[in-house]
Chain A
Amino acid sequence: MIGVLGYGAYLPSYRLGTDSGVRGRRVVASFDEDATTMAVEAARGLPGAGSLWWSSTTPPYLDKTNAAAVHAALRLPSSVPAADLVGSARSTFAGLRAALATGGLVVAADVRVGKPGSLDERSGGDGAAALLLGEGDAIAEVLGVAAETAELLDRWRHPLRPTGEQWEERFGFEQYAALVRAVAARLLDGAGLAEADHVVVTSGNAGIAKRAGALVKGALSSGGSPIGFSGAADPLLGLAAVLDVAGPGETILVLSAVDGCDGILLRTTDLLPSRRSVRSVAAQLDAGRPVPYPTYLSWRGLLERELPRRPEPDRPAGPPSYRAGEWKFGFTGSRCTACGFLHLPPLRVCRACSETDAMEPVPVADRAGTVATFTVDRLAFSPSPPVVDVVVDFAGGGRTTLEVADADPDAIAVGTEVELAFRRLFTAGGVHNYFWKAVVR
């Protein structure tokens, strides 16, 4: 019996500042985050999976499998298939159906961009969520999955445009309301339930999002997206937020109204309270800090700013990136089996005892480290200067120099504790340079 084995959610640290005119907490990804990096962050705490289904409405690459980088960063075995499901939140449900059949990891992530001043800018949200399905000790069992499909022009985006459009919201609302009620009724009937304990309704239609709590009522809670419409991630983020708080033996109905309606009905088990995600959606939502609006606009390419007078970096090259894949994506170093010295990046000749080719791989991505020394580089090229760099000494050995993500230079001193985050250092020549950065937690 395949059930839910675990879940995770990731929300970026930044919120649109008040200078944007946006009220409330608009969660925005940093300049070095995208649907691949956030997917990694959402899924990092979960154990290995038999398959990987990544979905997004904002894929960093086309004609290349984004899920492969997620797969590499999660250090999954090469025999695990990984695929992209690109399009809308429906793709996330396609991933769910695939993982329900065979077991696997479903991870969805999005950087939702709206025109300045638009509804999407105001009421969207950037984030990622992951759901691990498989045989074993489940935190929730799956009672049913159902769908309705409808071709209707409610929300769309031309592939070459950064921002999308919507039809008049009341048109979509009426169609979706009926579809949501139909899917809910079918799932509840199938399970022999009059109502679910928790109901989450997410949709890119603003009318549905506004009335999410009223459309289908839950006995204990009824609501919508925890952060605003986050595209493919929205239904899983909504589910994650409920799993953060639901008790054992409670039913959860998740409904996603996008080009029809997808629904899944779950019942939590006694294991849920002991296996919740370490960082709840609510805690992450509370922890943000503001980014000035002009900075945000430049991150999204909607405002071009003057950069330091430095050349743009070269694009990362294919063959070296492939050879160094375990380091670049997996942050795996090499430890000398003769003397124990840990090398970051991996080397063949030991720096401590000169033994050659006596190395074993050691993954370090999940270890904490401390700052040995640091600097703020105001001259270096960066999509968002200045660059903050730290020399990090890791618990259990190993040292390397890393950029700091979401950096607040005043929060860094010799001895500051840092962790690692998977980020995009820069994009050059159309190639995204993925690597790890240090973060102060």
Chain B
Amino acid sequence: MASNGIKDAVAIVGMGCTRFGERWESSTDDLLVEAVGEALGSAGVRRDDVDAFWLGTLSSGQSGLTLSRPLGIDHKPVTRVENYCATGSESFRNACYAVASGAYDRVMAVGVEKLKDSGFSGLLRADPPSDGTAAELSLTAPAAFSLLDPAYTAKYGVDPAAMREAMTHVAWKNHVNGARNPKAQFRKVVARETIESAPKVAGRLGVFDCSGVSDGAAAALVVRAEDAYDYTDRPVFVKALALAAGPMRGGLDPAYDFTSFPEVVHSAADAYAQAGIADPRAELSLAEVHDCFTPTEIVLMEDLGFTERGQAWKDVLAGDFDLGGRLPVNVDGGLKSFGHPVGASGLRMLYEAWLQLRGEAGERQLADPRLALTHNLGGRPGGCVSFVSVVGNERG
């Protein structure tokens, strides 16, 4: 891989995350004030001590002014970034590089999304004027990800009923985890029968196979690693930041079989090289992954190297990724149960890593976690951007 990485060069010293959900009472501005305030408070830093800001949002505002106006940020650099559903991670990635470069001492990464004001189901697209022929103009996200299910069962000879069971397990697990999370959108354990009998959205995906459409914001304060203990006695160090944008070959190439995200494979390999990880399943304490739809989480277990090809559905059913499993995945409920306010999600994943690595995760706290992975994906099978980070509570 061509990336040099910035292992242990920067650290997170403060984080904030709003409750995700149908926040009818809160505007985008309110969510930003809430998340940034919590992040500043946890680091013991004033707004004016932050040297630069990166803001990620898909569709809740344009430009840095979306953040500088509600917070009254006074003539500081504020950059808005967008990278589909990986937008929050992109904000964090740029903030880390800004500190690592030496340009700034303290940088804040913020992500926000206000999805529930539109009145529509699912995500809206703001596409440039076009010839009207692109399939993604009509094919919705659940439909695009539902393509994984028949392709996966066909390739590995999996009984569709067993695959359905595995998809149900992912939803069930993430609801069990989310029930322990006071900031999650859905805080209820949902019976397997309820998940399977839910109204269908696309293909075999029912309502419970889809992530929550929600409002929310999250923020992280990043400083140089050597300064980290000035702010907190439990900083979280950045071990790896990897991003891969695909050439969108899968939608054009009959060789692509809709059972993998090559972008995830590439970004994971890059991240593991940066962090010096040889066996992710053994070395990682937890993983927060992009479970936008239940089959996505199954395929990601293989793409991230947590199991062999064609095995993930079995491992899922065996409980390997449950809270008490060999590698807990989406301990905080994931997109499924925590909710998916697009621009905030990547930072929300880091927020759970932050809590777990500091021992602050309450009733879902894992025993002695050292290394956490976050994986955030934007796009769809056949063409997406994929982000992988590794963070840890020890500076190497």
A interface residues (Cβ-Cβ under 8 A, vs B): 308-311, 313-317, 319-321, 323-324, 327-328, 341, 343-345, 347, 351-352, 372-382, 387, 389, 391, 393, 397-403, 414, 425-426, 433, 435
Contacts and interface: CB of A to CB of B under 8 A. Distances in A.
Given A372-B254, A400-B251, A377 B143 contact: yes
B193 interface: no
B130 interface: yes
B147 A316 contact: no
Contacts of A320: 129-131
B120 interface: yes
B305 interface: no
B249 A351 contact: yes
B139 A374 contact: no
Interface of B: 118-122, 124, 127, 129-133, 135, 137-140, 142-144, 146-147, 150-151, 154, 200-203, 247-249, 251-254, 256-258, 382
Contacts of B252: 343-344, 347, 351, 398-400
A135 B26 CA distance: 74
Contacts of A308: 121
A36 to B, nearest CB: 15
B251 A399 contact: yes
Contacts of A425: 132, 138
A207 B258 CA distance: 59
A403 B139 CA distance: 9
A145 B258 CA distance: 59
A378 B139 contact: no
Nearest to A324: B131
Nearest to B130: A320
A380 B143 contact: yes
A372 B253 contact: no
B285 to A, nearest CB: 35
A372 B135 CA distance: 15
Contact of B203 (A321, A328, A376, A435): A376
Contact of A380 (B127, B138, B154, B247): B138
B124 A375 contact: no
Contacts of A398: 252, 254
A372 B154 CA distance: 10
B151 A373 contact: yes
B122 A321 contact: no
Contacts of A373: 147, 150-151, 154, 258
Given A310-B122, A399-B254, A435-B133, 11 more contacts: A314-B132, A319-B129, A323-B131, A343-B252, A351-B253, A372-B151, A374-B150, A377-B203, A378-B201, A381-B138, A414-B151
Given A379-B202, A382-B138, A425-B138, A314 B143 contact: no
B366 to A, nearest CB: 36
A18 to B, nearest CB: 28
Nearest to A349: B247
6 contacts: A317-B132, A351-B252, A376-B203, A379-B140, A379-B143, A379-B201
Contacts of A324: 131, 133
Contacts of A317: 129-132
B150 A379 contact: no
Contacts of A328: 131-133
Given A320-B130, A373-B151, A380 B135 contact: no
A163 to B, nearest CB: 29
Given A317-B129, A379-B140, A379-B201, A391 B249 contact: no
B122 to A, nearest CB: 6
B123 to A, nearest CB: 10
B125 to A, nearest CB: 9
Contact of B132 (A313, A352, A376): A313
A391 B127 contact: no
A321 B121 contact: no
A34 to B, nearest CB: 16
Contacts of A314: 127, 129-130, 132
Nearest to A394: B254
Given A320-B129, A379-B201, A310 B140 contact: yes
A414 B135 CA distance: 18
A401 B253 CA distance: 11
B119 to A, nearest CB: 7
Contacts of B257: 372
A343 B127 CA distance: 22
Contacts of B253: 341, 351-352, 399
B245 to A, nearest CB: 14
A316 B131 contact: yes
B119 A327 contact: no
Contacts of B135: 389, 400-403
A36 B147 CA distance: 32
A43 B106 CA distance: 68
Choose among A324, A347, A379, A402 the residue with the greatest number of B CB atoms under 10 Å from its CB: A379
Contacts of A401: 135, 139, 251, 382
Contacts of A380: 138-140, 143
B150 A414 contact: yes
A435 B131 CA distance: 9
B121 to A, nearest CB: 5
Nearest to B135: A401
Nearest to A313: B137
Contacts of A327: 131, 133
Contacts of B258: 372-373, 391
B213 to A, nearest CB: 11
A309 B247 CA distance: 32
Contacts of B382: 391, 401
B260 to A, nearest CB: 13
Contacts of A343: 252
A373 B258 CA distance: 8
B244 to A, nearest CB: 16
Contact of B130 (A316, A344, A352, A414): A316
